[in-house]
């Protein structure tokens, strides 16, 4: 009886070793984020899920976005990185991102945002990186004010 258990134990250990070095379990979208992602699917978002199925990275680049999109983004409370490069981002939309308390990186290059929109980002305490490259309506004063409010922020212009 001892001999028949040994191959099973060795097989289990081999499978565990192989999975530890590269097996990934299938992660599906968490119910917390499903409604928001369903509502913005027309924009063909690119996203990354964490191990719990929460959306942690989202790209909505070169899209015509309205305020309703930002209502949905505010529901993605585990979101850490958001790229809106080249999209039509309304200043008021950025105010809605305040609900996303984990947001650490935001890409707003080539968007029409102004200093007013930028000021809303000061209420994101975890924000560490901001991209403003390209043509935006942001002034050096607006960037300086944001850096003063968030001293650990790095702005790429």
pLDDT digit string (tens) for 39-82?
A: 999 999 999 999 999 999 999 999 999 889 999 999 999 999 99
Residues 22-37 pLDDT 10s: 555 688 999 999 999 9
User: pTM for the full model?
Assistant: 0.83
Considering the domain boundaries, does residue 20 fall inside one? no
Helix (H) or strand (E) holding 82: strand 81-83
Higher per-residue confidence, 13 vs 140: 140
Q: In CATH, what number is assigned to the domain containing residue 134?
A: 3.80.10.10
Report if residue 52 sits inside a domain: yes
Q: How many CB atoms lie within 10 A of CB 121?
A: 21
What is the per-residue pLDDT for 23? 53
Instruction: Give the range of the structural domain holding residue 146, as residue numbers without chain letter.
Output: 28-156
| Residue 14 falls inside a structural domain | no
Count of structural domains within the chain: 1
- Answer yes or no: is 21 within a domain: no
Give dist(CA 112, CA 134) in Å, integer: 10
């Amino acid at each position: 009886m001892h001999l028949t258990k040994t191959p099973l134990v060795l097989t289990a250990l081999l499978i565990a070793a192989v999975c530890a070095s590269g097996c990934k379990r299938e992660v599906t979208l968490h119910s917390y984020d499903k409604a928001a992602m369903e509502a913005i699917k027309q924009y063909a978002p690119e996203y990354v899920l964490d191990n719990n199925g929460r959306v942690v990275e989202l790209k909505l680049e070169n899209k015509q976005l309205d305020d309703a999109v930002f209502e949905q983004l505010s529901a993605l409370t585990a979101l850490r990185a958001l790229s809106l490069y080249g999209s039509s981002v309304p200043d008021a939309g950025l105010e809605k991102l305040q609900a996303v308390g984990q947001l650490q990186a935001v890409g707003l290059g080539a968007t029409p945002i102004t200093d007013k929109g930028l000021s809303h980002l000061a209420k994101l305490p975890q924000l560490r990186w901001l991209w403003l490259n390209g043509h935006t309506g942001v002034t050096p004063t607006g960037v300086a004010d944001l850096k003063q409010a968030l001293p650990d922020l790095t702005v790429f212009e």
